[in-house]
Structure 1
Amino acid sequence: MTENLESAPGRVVVVTGAARGIGRAIAERFVAQGDRVATLYRGGDLPEGVHGYKADVTDTEAVNAAFTQIEQELGPVAVLVANAGVTKDQLLMRMSDEEFEQVVDVNLTGTFRCVRRAAKGMIRKRYGRIVLIGSLVGLYGGTGQTNYGASKAGLVGLVRSISRELGSRGITANVVAPGFVETDMTAELPEATRDFYLKSIPAGRFAQPEEVTGAVTFLASDAASYITGAVIPVDGGMGMGH
Protein backbone atom coordinates (compact mmCIF):
# COMPACT_ATOMS: atom_id res chain seq x y z
CA MET A 1 0.00 0.00 0.00
CA THR A 2 1.31 3.43 -0.84
CA GLU A 3 2.26 5.90 1.83
CA ASN A 4 -0.36 8.28 0.40
CA LEU A 5 -3.22 5.86 1.12
CA GLU A 6 -1.86 4.75 4.48
CA SER A 7 -1.71 8.32 5.77
CA ALA A 8 -5.07 9.48 4.38
CA PRO A 9 -7.61 10.67 6.99
CA GLY A 10 -10.32 8.34 8.23
CA ARG A 11 -10.51 4.57 8.13
CA VAL A 12 -11.48 2.51 5.10
CA VAL A 13 -14.93 1.09 5.80
CA VAL A 14 -16.70 -1.44 3.55
CA VAL A 15 -20.48 -1.68 3.88
CA THR A 16 -22.08 -4.30 1.66
CA GLY A 17 -25.47 -3.43 0.19
CA ALA A 18 -25.32 0.33 0.80
CA ALA A 19 -27.73 1.34 -1.96
CA ARG A 20 -30.83 1.28 0.23
CA GLY A 21 -32.36 0.69 3.63
CA ILE A 22 -30.22 0.01 6.67
CA GLY A 23 -27.04 -0.37 4.63
CA ARG A 24 -27.51 3.07 3.12
CA ALA A 25 -28.00 4.67 6.54
CA ILE A 26 -24.90 2.90 7.90
CA ALA A 27 -22.76 4.05 4.98
CA GLU A 28 -23.99 7.64 5.38
CA ARG A 29 -23.09 7.63 9.07
CA PHE A 30 -19.52 6.49 8.38
CA VAL A 31 -19.14 9.12 5.65
CA ALA A 32 -20.34 11.78 8.11
CA GLN A 33 -17.65 10.59 10.54
CA GLY A 34 -14.98 11.30 7.95
CA ASP A 35 -14.26 7.70 6.97
CA ARG A 36 -13.47 6.50 3.46
CA VAL A 37 -16.50 4.34 2.66
CA ALA A 38 -16.83 1.73 -0.06
CA THR A 39 -19.63 -0.67 -0.85
CA LEU A 40 -20.10 -3.92 -2.69
CA TYR A 41 -23.49 -3.70 -4.36
CA ARG A 42 -25.46 -5.01 -7.31
CA GLY A 43 -27.17 -1.80 -8.43
CA GLY A 44 -28.94 1.40 -7.49
CA ASP A 45 -27.77 4.90 -6.62
CA LEU A 46 -25.39 5.34 -3.72
CA PRO A 47 -25.15 7.98 -0.99
CA GLU A 48 -22.82 10.89 -1.63
CA GLY A 49 -19.26 10.07 -0.69
CA VAL A 50 -19.64 6.28 -1.00
CA HIS A 51 -17.36 4.52 -3.50
CA GLY A 52 -19.25 1.79 -5.33
CA TYR A 53 -17.85 -1.54 -6.50
CA LYS A 54 -20.20 -3.79 -8.41
CA ALA A 55 -20.01 -7.32 -7.04
CA ASP A 56 -22.43 -10.12 -6.22
CA VAL A 57 -21.60 -11.61 -2.82
CA THR A 58 -22.48 -15.07 -4.15
CA ASP A 59 -19.49 -14.84 -6.51
CA THR A 60 -16.18 -15.47 -4.73
CA GLU A 61 -14.02 -14.14 -7.56
CA ALA A 62 -16.08 -10.93 -7.78
CA VAL A 63 -15.86 -10.38 -4.02
CA ASN A 64 -12.10 -10.92 -3.98
CA ALA A 65 -11.58 -8.63 -6.98
CA ALA A 66 -13.68 -5.86 -5.42
CA PHE A 67 -11.70 -5.94 -2.17
CA THR A 68 -8.43 -5.88 -4.10
CA GLN A 69 -9.61 -2.81 -6.00
CA ILE A 70 -10.74 -1.10 -2.78
CA GLU A 71 -7.34 -1.73 -1.20
CA GLN A 72 -5.56 -0.32 -4.24
CA GLU A 73 -7.74 2.78 -4.54
CA LEU A 74 -8.65 3.61 -0.92
CA GLY A 75 -6.25 1.71 1.33
CA PRO A 76 -6.37 -1.24 3.75
CA VAL A 77 -9.85 -2.13 5.00
CA ALA A 78 -10.23 -1.46 8.72
CA VAL A 79 -13.98 -2.02 9.10
CA LEU A 80 -16.35 -4.45 7.39
CA VAL A 81 -20.10 -4.15 7.84
CA ALA A 82 -21.71 -7.16 6.16
CA ASN A 83 -25.25 -5.98 5.49
CA ALA A 84 -26.23 -7.38 2.08
CA GLY A 85 -29.20 -9.72 2.36
CA VAL A 86 -32.32 -11.01 0.66
CA THR A 87 -35.62 -12.58 1.65
CA LYS A 88 -37.68 -15.20 -0.14
CA ASP A 89 -40.44 -15.84 2.39
CA GLN A 90 -42.53 -18.97 2.05
CA LEU A 91 -44.21 -21.42 4.40
CA LEU A 92 -42.04 -24.40 5.25
CA MET A 93 -44.05 -27.00 3.33
CA ARG A 94 -44.11 -24.83 0.21
CA MET A 95 -40.52 -23.64 0.30
CA SER A 96 -38.34 -25.01 -2.50
CA ASP A 97 -34.72 -26.06 -2.19
CA GLU A 98 -33.81 -23.12 -4.39
CA GLU A 99 -35.62 -20.60 -2.17
CA PHE A 100 -33.79 -21.91 0.87
CA GLU A 101 -30.38 -22.17 -0.78
CA GLN A 102 -30.50 -18.75 -2.47
CA VAL A 103 -31.20 -16.93 0.79
CA VAL A 104 -28.50 -18.83 2.67
CA ASP A 105 -26.00 -18.24 -0.15
CA VAL A 106 -26.46 -14.46 0.00
CA ASN A 107 -27.05 -13.89 3.70
CA LEU A 108 -24.69 -16.41 5.28
CA THR A 109 -22.22 -17.71 2.70
CA GLY A 110 -21.97 -14.28 1.06
CA THR A 111 -21.10 -12.79 4.43
CA PHE A 112 -18.47 -15.49 4.94
CA ARG A 113 -16.90 -14.64 1.57
CA CYS A 114 -16.63 -10.96 2.48
CA VAL A 115 -15.29 -11.63 5.98
CA ARG A 116 -12.69 -14.09 4.71
CA ARG A 117 -11.35 -11.60 2.18
CA ALA A 118 -11.46 -8.55 4.46
CA ALA A 119 -9.73 -10.44 7.28
CA LYS A 120 -6.57 -10.97 5.20
CA GLY A 121 -5.63 -7.31 5.45
CA MET A 122 -6.88 -6.96 9.02
CA ILE A 123 -4.61 -9.79 10.17
CA ARG A 124 -1.62 -8.07 8.56
CA LYS A 125 -2.47 -4.77 10.26
CA ARG A 126 -3.42 -6.48 13.55
CA TYR A 127 -6.53 -4.34 13.63
CA GLY A 128 -10.08 -4.80 12.39
CA ARG A 129 -13.74 -4.32 13.16
CA ILE A 130 -16.22 -6.79 11.70
CA VAL A 131 -19.94 -6.12 12.19
CA LEU A 132 -22.51 -8.49 10.74
CA ILE A 133 -26.10 -7.31 10.31
CA GLY A 134 -28.27 -10.10 11.66
CA SER A 135 -31.95 -9.99 12.52
CA LEU A 136 -34.40 -10.54 15.33
CA VAL A 137 -35.75 -13.36 13.14
CA GLY A 138 -32.47 -15.23 13.51
CA LEU A 139 -32.94 -15.30 17.28
CA TYR A 140 -36.72 -15.22 17.68
CA GLY A 141 -37.94 -17.06 14.59
CA GLY A 142 -40.47 -15.97 12.01
CA THR A 143 -43.38 -17.67 10.28
CA GLY A 144 -42.57 -18.29 6.62
CA GLN A 145 -38.92 -17.45 7.17
CA THR A 146 -37.12 -20.73 7.81
CA ASN A 147 -34.55 -19.81 5.14
CA TYR A 148 -34.03 -16.24 6.37
CA GLY A 149 -34.07 -17.23 10.05
CA ALA A 150 -31.53 -20.00 9.47
CA SER A 151 -29.22 -17.68 7.52
CA LYS A 152 -29.31 -14.98 10.19
CA ALA A 153 -28.93 -17.45 13.07
CA GLY A 154 -25.86 -18.78 11.28
CA LEU A 155 -24.23 -15.37 11.57
CA VAL A 156 -24.09 -15.79 15.34
CA GLY A 157 -22.05 -18.99 15.11
CA LEU A 158 -19.94 -17.42 12.38
CA VAL A 159 -19.09 -14.31 14.37
CA ARG A 160 -18.28 -16.22 17.54
CA SER A 161 -15.94 -18.57 15.71
CA ILE A 162 -14.27 -15.57 14.03
CA SER A 163 -13.86 -13.97 17.46
CA ARG A 164 -12.06 -17.03 18.81
CA GLU A 165 -9.79 -17.28 15.78
CA LEU A 166 -8.92 -13.61 15.33
CA GLY A 167 -9.41 -12.05 18.76
CA SER A 168 -5.69 -12.11 19.58
CA ARG A 169 -4.96 -10.18 16.34
CA GLY A 170 -6.73 -7.00 17.44
CA ILE A 171 -9.86 -7.91 15.46
CA THR A 172 -13.36 -7.82 16.92
CA ALA A 173 -16.44 -9.42 15.37
CA ASN A 174 -20.02 -8.81 16.48
CA VAL A 175 -23.62 -9.06 15.28
CA VAL A 176 -26.18 -6.27 15.34
CA ALA A 177 -29.67 -7.81 15.26
CA PRO A 178 -32.32 -5.27 14.26
CA GLY A 179 -36.00 -5.86 14.81
CA PHE A 180 -38.56 -4.07 12.66
CA VAL A 181 -37.09 -0.98 11.03
CA GLU A 182 -38.87 1.69 8.99
CA THR A 183 -37.66 0.80 5.50
CA ASP A 184 -39.26 0.31 2.08
CA MET A 185 -39.75 -3.36 3.00
CA THR A 186 -41.73 -2.72 6.18
CA ALA A 187 -43.67 0.11 4.51
CA GLU A 188 -45.18 -2.48 2.20
CA LEU A 189 -46.61 -4.55 5.07
CA PRO A 190 -50.43 -4.59 5.31
CA GLU A 191 -51.74 -2.28 8.02
CA ALA A 192 -53.13 -5.21 10.03
CA THR A 193 -49.71 -6.89 9.99
CA ARG A 194 -47.96 -3.71 11.09
CA ASP A 195 -50.43 -3.30 13.95
CA PHE A 196 -49.89 -6.91 15.04
CA TYR A 197 -46.12 -6.47 15.22
CA LEU A 198 -46.35 -3.09 16.92
CA LYS A 199 -48.33 -4.66 19.77
CA SER A 200 -45.40 -7.06 20.34
CA ILE A 201 -42.82 -4.28 20.66
CA PRO A 202 -42.50 -2.74 24.14
CA ALA A 203 -41.20 0.49 22.58
CA GLY A 204 -44.47 0.72 20.64
CA ARG A 205 -42.89 1.64 17.31
CA PHE A 206 -40.58 0.47 14.58
CA ALA A 207 -36.96 1.64 14.63
CA GLN A 208 -35.55 4.32 12.38
CA PRO A 209 -32.54 3.19 10.30
CA GLU A 210 -30.39 5.73 12.15
CA GLU A 211 -31.03 3.88 15.42
CA VAL A 212 -29.40 0.78 13.98
CA THR A 213 -26.42 2.75 12.70
CA GLY A 214 -25.61 3.95 16.20
CA ALA A 215 -25.00 0.38 17.38
CA VAL A 216 -22.93 -0.39 14.28
CA THR A 217 -20.67 2.65 14.55
CA PHE A 218 -20.16 2.02 18.26
CA LEU A 219 -19.03 -1.57 17.65
CA ALA A 220 -16.72 -0.32 14.89
CA SER A 221 -15.13 2.24 17.22
CA ASP A 222 -12.17 1.96 19.56
CA ALA A 223 -14.60 2.40 22.46
CA ALA A 224 -15.80 -1.15 21.73
CA SER A 225 -12.34 -2.71 21.46
CA TYR A 226 -13.09 -5.23 24.25
CA ILE A 227 -16.47 -6.32 22.86
CA THR A 228 -16.34 -9.34 20.55
CA GLY A 229 -18.57 -12.31 19.84
CA ALA A 230 -21.58 -10.32 21.04
CA VAL A 231 -25.10 -10.06 19.64
CA ILE A 232 -26.56 -6.58 20.11
CA PRO A 233 -30.35 -6.46 19.62
CA VAL A 234 -31.86 -3.23 18.30
CA ASP A 235 -35.49 -4.26 18.46
CA GLY A 236 -37.33 -2.05 20.94
CA GLY A 237 -37.41 -4.92 23.44
CA MET A 238 -39.37 -7.31 21.19
CA GLY A 239 -36.90 -10.17 21.57
CA MET A 240 -35.89 -9.38 25.17
CA GLY A 241 -32.28 -10.33 24.43
CA HIS A 242 -32.99 -13.61 22.64
Structure 2
Amino acid sequence: MDTATNNTAAAMPQLFDLTGHVALVTGGNGGLGIGMARGLASAGASVAIWGRNAERNRAASAALKANGADVADFACDVTDPEQVSAAMELTIARFGRLDSCFANAGGSGVRKPFTQLSPGDWQSTLDLNVNSVVYTFQAASRQFMAQGSGGSLVVTSSVAALLGVPGGGYSATKAAVSGLVRSLAVELAPAGIRANAILPGFIATEMSLNTPKAFQDACLRRTPSGKLGTVDDMAGAAVFLAGPASQYMTGHSLVIDGGQSIFPM
Protein backbone atom coordinates (compact mmCIF):
# COMPACT_ATOMS: atom_id res chain seq x y z
CA MET A 1 0.00 0.00 0.00
CA ASP A 2 1.55 3.33 -1.06
CA THR A 3 1.88 6.42 1.13
CA ALA A 4 -1.06 8.24 -0.46
CA THR A 5 -3.33 5.25 0.13
CA ASN A 6 -2.14 4.96 3.72
CA ASN A 7 -2.84 8.66 4.33
CA THR A 8 -6.33 8.37 2.82
CA ALA A 9 -7.17 5.34 4.94
CA ALA A 10 -5.93 7.09 8.08
CA ALA A 11 -7.98 10.21 7.33
CA MET A 12 -11.21 8.37 6.50
CA PRO A 13 -12.63 8.14 10.06
CA GLN A 14 -12.03 11.87 10.54
CA LEU A 15 -14.28 12.67 7.58
CA PHE A 16 -17.24 11.42 9.61
CA ASP A 17 -16.14 12.65 13.02
CA LEU A 18 -18.31 15.57 14.18
CA THR A 19 -16.64 16.13 17.53
CA GLY A 20 -16.89 19.85 18.35
CA HIS A 21 -19.54 20.35 15.67
CA VAL A 22 -22.89 22.00 16.50
CA ALA A 23 -25.89 20.95 14.43
CA LEU A 24 -29.43 22.30 14.42
CA VAL A 25 -32.36 20.08 13.38
CA THR A 26 -35.80 21.65 13.00
CA GLY A 27 -38.63 19.21 13.50
CA GLY A 28 -36.01 17.19 15.35
CA ASN A 29 -38.36 15.80 17.99
CA GLY A 30 -39.66 12.93 15.87
CA GLY A 31 -40.01 11.47 12.39
CA LEU A 32 -37.16 12.04 9.97
CA GLY A 33 -35.66 14.68 12.25
CA ILE A 34 -35.00 12.37 15.16
CA GLY A 35 -33.22 9.98 12.82
CA MET A 36 -30.96 12.82 11.71
CA ALA A 37 -30.41 14.01 15.27
CA ARG A 38 -29.45 10.51 16.42
CA GLY A 39 -26.97 10.16 13.59
CA LEU A 40 -25.39 13.55 14.22
CA ALA A 41 -25.11 12.91 17.95
CA SER A 42 -23.62 9.46 17.42
CA ALA A 43 -20.90 11.07 15.27
CA GLY A 44 -20.00 13.37 18.15
CA ALA A 45 -21.99 16.52 17.31
CA SER A 46 -23.80 18.67 19.81
CA VAL A 47 -27.41 18.95 18.64
CA ALA A 48 -30.06 21.65 18.98
CA ILE A 49 -33.60 20.36 18.47
CA TRP A 50 -36.29 22.80 17.43
CA GLY A 51 -39.96 21.88 17.39
CA ARG A 52 -43.35 23.36 18.14
CA ASN A 53 -44.26 20.80 20.80
CA ALA A 54 -42.18 21.46 23.91
CA GLU A 55 -43.11 18.14 25.51
CA ARG A 56 -42.00 16.15 22.46
CA ASN A 57 -38.83 18.24 22.32
CA ARG A 58 -37.98 17.34 25.90
CA ALA A 59 -38.65 13.65 25.30
CA ALA A 60 -36.40 13.59 22.23
CA SER A 61 -33.64 15.43 24.11
CA ALA A 62 -33.89 13.07 27.06
CA ALA A 63 -33.56 10.02 24.80
CA LEU A 64 -30.44 11.42 23.15
CA LYS A 65 -28.93 12.53 26.45
CA ALA A 66 -29.43 9.02 27.82
CA ASN A 67 -26.94 7.91 25.17
CA GLY A 68 -24.42 10.56 26.21
CA ALA A 69 -25.25 13.23 23.64
CA ASP A 70 -24.91 16.97 24.23
CA VAL A 71 -28.41 18.14 23.30
CA ALA A 72 -30.67 21.10 23.97
CA ASP A 73 -34.20 21.70 22.76
CA PHE A 74 -36.06 24.90 21.99
CA ALA A 75 -39.74 25.46 21.29
CA CYS A 76 -40.10 27.17 17.92
CA ASP A 77 -42.70 27.48 15.19
CA VAL A 78 -40.48 27.91 12.14
CA THR A 79 -43.30 29.48 10.13
CA ASP A 80 -42.87 32.54 12.37
CA PRO A 81 -39.66 34.49 11.57
CA GLU A 82 -39.63 36.14 15.00
CA GLN A 83 -39.68 32.77 16.74
CA VAL A 84 -36.90 31.57 14.44
CA SER A 85 -34.73 34.54 15.36
CA ALA A 86 -35.40 34.04 19.07
CA ALA A 87 -34.65 30.31 18.92
CA MET A 88 -31.41 30.98 17.06
CA GLU A 89 -30.30 33.41 19.77
CA LEU A 90 -31.03 30.80 22.44
CA THR A 91 -29.20 28.13 20.45
CA ILE A 92 -26.08 30.26 20.11
CA ALA A 93 -26.24 31.26 23.77
CA ARG A 94 -26.28 27.56 24.69
CA PHE A 95 -23.68 26.20 22.25
CA GLY A 96 -21.64 29.25 21.27
CA ARG A 97 -21.67 28.54 17.53
CA LEU A 98 -23.43 26.71 14.69
CA ASP A 99 -21.89 24.50 12.01
CA SER A 100 -24.81 22.86 10.23
CA CYS A 101 -28.51 23.55 9.92
CA PHE A 102 -31.06 20.93 8.90
CA ALA A 103 -34.34 22.57 7.86
CA ASN A 104 -36.41 19.44 8.29
CA ALA A 105 -39.68 20.75 9.74
CA GLY A 106 -42.60 20.52 7.34
CA GLY A 107 -45.55 18.36 6.43
CA SER A 108 -48.09 17.31 3.88
CA GLY A 109 -49.89 20.64 4.02
CA VAL A 110 -53.48 20.88 2.85
CA ARG A 111 -54.36 17.85 0.73
CA LYS A 112 -57.22 18.75 -1.57
CA PRO A 113 -57.84 18.49 -5.30
CA PHE A 114 -56.02 21.34 -7.03
CA THR A 115 -59.23 23.03 -8.16
CA GLN A 116 -60.54 23.10 -4.59
CA LEU A 117 -57.51 24.70 -2.94
CA SER A 118 -58.40 28.05 -1.45
CA PRO A 119 -55.85 30.88 -1.32
CA GLY A 120 -55.56 30.20 2.40
CA ASP A 121 -54.90 26.49 1.81
CA TRP A 122 -52.15 27.30 -0.67
CA GLN A 123 -50.57 29.90 1.60
CA SER A 124 -50.52 27.60 4.62
CA THR A 125 -48.72 24.89 2.65
CA LEU A 126 -46.18 27.44 1.40
CA ASP A 127 -45.64 28.70 4.94
CA LEU A 128 -45.15 25.17 6.26
CA ASN A 129 -42.75 23.85 3.62
CA VAL A 130 -41.10 26.84 1.94
CA ASN A 131 -41.24 30.00 4.04
CA SER A 132 -40.17 28.07 7.14
CA VAL A 133 -37.05 26.93 5.30
CA VAL A 134 -36.28 30.45 4.12
CA TYR A 135 -36.55 31.88 7.64
CA THR A 136 -34.43 29.09 9.13
CA PHE A 137 -31.73 29.28 6.47
CA GLN A 138 -31.59 33.07 6.73
CA ALA A 139 -30.97 32.88 10.47
CA ALA A 140 -28.39 30.10 10.09
CA SER A 141 -26.58 31.85 7.23
CA ARG A 142 -26.33 35.08 9.19
CA GLN A 143 -24.78 33.14 12.06
CA PHE A 144 -22.32 31.36 9.75
CA MET A 145 -21.29 34.71 8.29
CA ALA A 146 -20.90 36.29 11.73
CA GLN A 147 -18.62 33.40 12.73
CA GLY A 148 -16.69 33.63 9.47
CA SER A 149 -16.52 29.85 9.49
CA GLY A 150 -18.81 28.77 6.69
CA GLY A 151 -21.35 26.05 7.33
CA SER A 152 -23.71 23.50 5.88
CA LEU A 153 -27.38 24.09 5.05
CA VAL A 154 -29.51 21.00 4.42
CA VAL A 155 -33.22 20.90 3.63
CA THR A 156 -35.54 17.92 3.73
CA SER A 157 -37.20 17.92 0.34
CA SER A 158 -38.87 14.76 -1.06
CA VAL A 159 -38.91 12.49 -4.08
CA ALA A 160 -42.27 14.18 -4.64
CA ALA A 161 -40.13 17.02 -6.03
CA LEU A 162 -39.24 14.66 -8.89
CA LEU A 163 -42.53 12.81 -9.31
CA GLY A 164 -46.09 13.81 -10.09
CA VAL A 165 -47.96 13.48 -6.80
CA PRO A 166 -51.61 14.58 -6.54
CA GLY A 167 -52.94 16.43 -3.55
CA GLY A 168 -52.40 20.13 -3.94
CA GLY A 169 -49.17 21.96 -3.29
CA TYR A 170 -46.95 19.39 -1.59
CA SER A 171 -44.90 18.47 -4.67
CA ALA A 172 -44.63 22.12 -5.65
CA THR A 173 -43.25 23.12 -2.25
CA LYS A 174 -40.72 20.30 -2.20
CA ALA A 175 -39.55 21.20 -5.70
CA ALA A 176 -39.27 24.81 -4.53
CA VAL A 177 -36.87 24.04 -1.68
CA SER A 178 -34.80 21.79 -3.94
CA GLY A 179 -34.45 24.80 -6.23
CA LEU A 180 -33.72 27.07 -3.29
CA VAL A 181 -30.60 25.15 -2.28
CA ARG A 182 -29.23 25.41 -5.82
CA SER A 183 -29.60 29.18 -5.69
CA LEU A 184 -28.09 29.38 -2.22
CA ALA A 185 -25.21 27.13 -3.25
CA VAL A 186 -24.21 29.73 -5.82
CA GLU A 187 -24.90 32.83 -3.77
CA LEU A 188 -23.38 31.70 -0.47
CA ALA A 189 -20.33 29.81 -1.72
CA PRO A 190 -18.01 32.84 -1.28
CA ALA A 191 -18.87 32.75 2.43
CA GLY A 192 -17.96 29.07 2.64
CA ILE A 193 -21.58 28.02 3.03
CA ARG A 194 -22.79 24.87 1.31
CA ALA A 195 -26.46 24.09 0.60
CA ASN A 196 -27.87 20.67 -0.24
CA ALA A 197 -31.18 18.81 -0.16
CA ILE A 198 -32.17 15.34 1.02
CA LEU A 199 -35.01 13.78 -0.97
CA PRO A 200 -36.49 10.89 1.02
CA GLY A 201 -38.88 8.40 -0.47
CA PHE A 202 -41.53 6.72 1.65
CA ILE A 203 -40.01 6.56 5.13
CA ALA A 204 -42.08 4.93 7.87
CA THR A 205 -43.01 7.68 10.32
CA GLU A 206 -46.08 8.52 12.35
CA MET A 207 -47.15 10.96 9.65
CA SER A 208 -46.46 8.78 6.61
CA LEU A 209 -48.11 5.72 8.13
CA ASN A 210 -51.32 7.75 8.48
CA THR A 211 -51.61 7.96 4.70
CA PRO A 212 -54.08 5.63 2.94
CA LYS A 213 -52.90 2.02 2.80
CA ALA A 214 -53.38 2.00 -0.97
CA PHE A 215 -50.82 4.79 -1.23
CA GLN A 216 -48.37 2.96 1.01
CA ASP A 217 -48.80 -0.23 -1.02
CA ALA A 218 -48.19 1.67 -4.24
CA CYS A 219 -44.97 3.15 -2.85
CA LEU A 220 -43.80 -0.29 -1.78
CA ARG A 221 -44.58 -1.84 -5.18
CA ARG A 222 -42.42 0.69 -6.95
CA THR A 223 -39.52 0.41 -4.52
CA PRO A 224 -37.09 -2.16 -5.93
CA SER A 225 -35.39 -2.64 -2.57
CA GLY A 226 -38.68 -4.24 -1.47
CA LYS A 227 -38.92 -2.40 1.82
CA LEU A 228 -39.97 0.92 3.25
CA GLY A 229 -37.35 3.21 4.72
CA THR A 230 -36.90 3.87 8.43
CA VAL A 231 -35.94 7.08 10.17
CA ASP A 232 -32.50 5.63 10.88
CA ASP A 233 -31.88 5.63 7.11
CA MET A 234 -31.57 9.41 7.47
CA ALA A 235 -28.65 9.23 9.90
CA GLY A 236 -25.80 8.55 7.49
CA ALA A 237 -26.89 11.24 5.05
CA ALA A 238 -27.09 13.79 7.85
CA VAL A 239 -23.57 13.02 9.08
CA PHE A 240 -22.22 13.07 5.52
CA LEU A 241 -23.79 16.41 4.61
CA ALA A 242 -22.98 18.09 7.92
CA GLY A 243 -19.27 17.49 7.95
CA PRO A 244 -16.02 17.37 6.01
CA ALA A 245 -16.88 14.24 4.01
CA SER A 246 -19.06 16.40 1.75
CA GLN A 247 -16.92 19.55 1.82
CA TYR A 248 -16.88 19.84 -2.01
CA MET A 249 -20.60 19.09 -2.45
CA THR A 250 -23.10 21.90 -2.82
CA GLY A 251 -26.33 22.46 -4.72
CA HIS A 252 -26.98 18.72 -4.75
CA SER A 253 -30.16 16.72 -4.22
CA LEU A 254 -29.40 13.45 -2.43
CA VAL A 255 -32.17 10.89 -3.01
CA ILE A 256 -32.79 8.32 -0.27
CA ASP A 257 -35.69 6.21 -1.48
CA GLY A 258 -34.63 2.60 -2.00
CA GLY A 259 -34.94 3.21 -5.74
CA GLN A 260 -38.57 4.34 -5.68
CA SER A 261 -38.02 7.32 -7.97
CA ILE A 262 -36.34 5.26 -10.71
CA PHE A 263 -38.64 2.21 -10.76
CA PRO A 264 -41.72 2.74 -12.96
CA MET A 265 -43.91 -0.11 -11.68
TM-score, L = length of structure 2 = 0.83
How far apart in 2 are the matches of 1:56 and 1:18?
12
In the alignment, what sits opposite 2:29?
Answer: 19
How far apart in 2 are the matches of 1:62 and 1:190?
34
In the alignment, what sits opposite 2:249?
Answer: 227
In the alignment, what sits opposite 1:136?
Answer: 159
Q: Which blocks of at least 5 consecutive residues in structure 2 are unaligned?
A: 1-18, 66-70
How far apart in 1 are the matches of 2:37 and 2:212?
29
Q: What count of residue pairs does the alignment treat as equivalent?
A: 232
Moved more, 188-197 or 71-80: 188-197
8 Å Cα contact 2:151-2:194 kept in structure 1: yes
In the alignment, what sits opposite 1:69?
Answer: 90
Q: Which amino acid aligns with 1:231?
A: S
Is 2:89 aligned against 1:79? no
What is the CA deviation profile of residues 56-110 of structure 1, one whole-angstrom value per residue up to 9, with x for unaligned ones?
1111111001101111111111100000002221111222222221111121111
Once the two structures are superposed, the pairs formed by residues 115-134 of structure 1 within 5 Å of their partners are: 115-124=137-146, 125-134=148-157
Report how far residue 112 of structure 1 moved.
Answer: 0.5
Is 2:159 aligned against 1:149? no
How far apart in 1 are the matches of 2:112 and 2:172?
13
| Secondary structure of residue in 2 paired with 1:239 | helix
How far apart in 1 are the matches of 2:27 and 2:127?
15
What is the CA deviation profile of residues 103-153 of structure 1, one whole-angstrom value per residue up to 9, with x for unaligned ones?
111211110001001111212323201111000112212111x31111111
In the alignment, what sits opposite 2:16?
Answer: none
In the alignment, what sits opposite 1:39?
Answer: 49
Report how far residue 189 of structure 1 moved.
Answer: 3.4
How far apart in 1 are the matches of 2:51 and 2:208?
21
TM-score, L = length of structure 1 = 0.90
Q: Which has the higher helix share?
A: 2
Moved more, 108-117 or 89-98: 89-98
How far apart in 1 are the matches of 2:111 and 2:158?
14
What is the CA deviation profile of residues 18-70 of structure 1, one whole-angstrom value per residue up to 9, with x for unaligned ones?
11100011111112222111022100232433311111111111100110111
Is 2:65 aligned against 1:55? no
How far apart in 1 are the matches of 2:187 and 2:213?
45
| Secondary structure of residue in 2 paired with 1:56 | coil
Q: Which blocks of at least 5 consecutive residues in structure 1 are unaligned?
A: 1-8
Moved more, 122-131 or 170-179: 122-131
How far apart in 2 are the matches of 1:27 and 1:17?
10
In the alignment, what sits opposite 1:102?
Answer: 124
How far apart in 2 are the matches of 1:191 and 1:53?
34
| Secondary structure of residue in 1 paired with 2:99 | strand
Report how far residue 221 of structure 1 moved.
Answer: 1.5
In the alignment, what sits opposite 2:5?
Answer: none
Q: Which amino acid aligns with 1:139?
A: L
How far apart in 2 are the matches of 1:186 and 1:66?
27
How far apart in 2 are the matches of 1:224 and 1:63?
27
8 Å Cα contact 2:219-2:260 kept in structure 1: no
Moved more, 226-235 or 201-210: 201-210
| Secondary structure of residue in 2 paired with 1:119 | helix
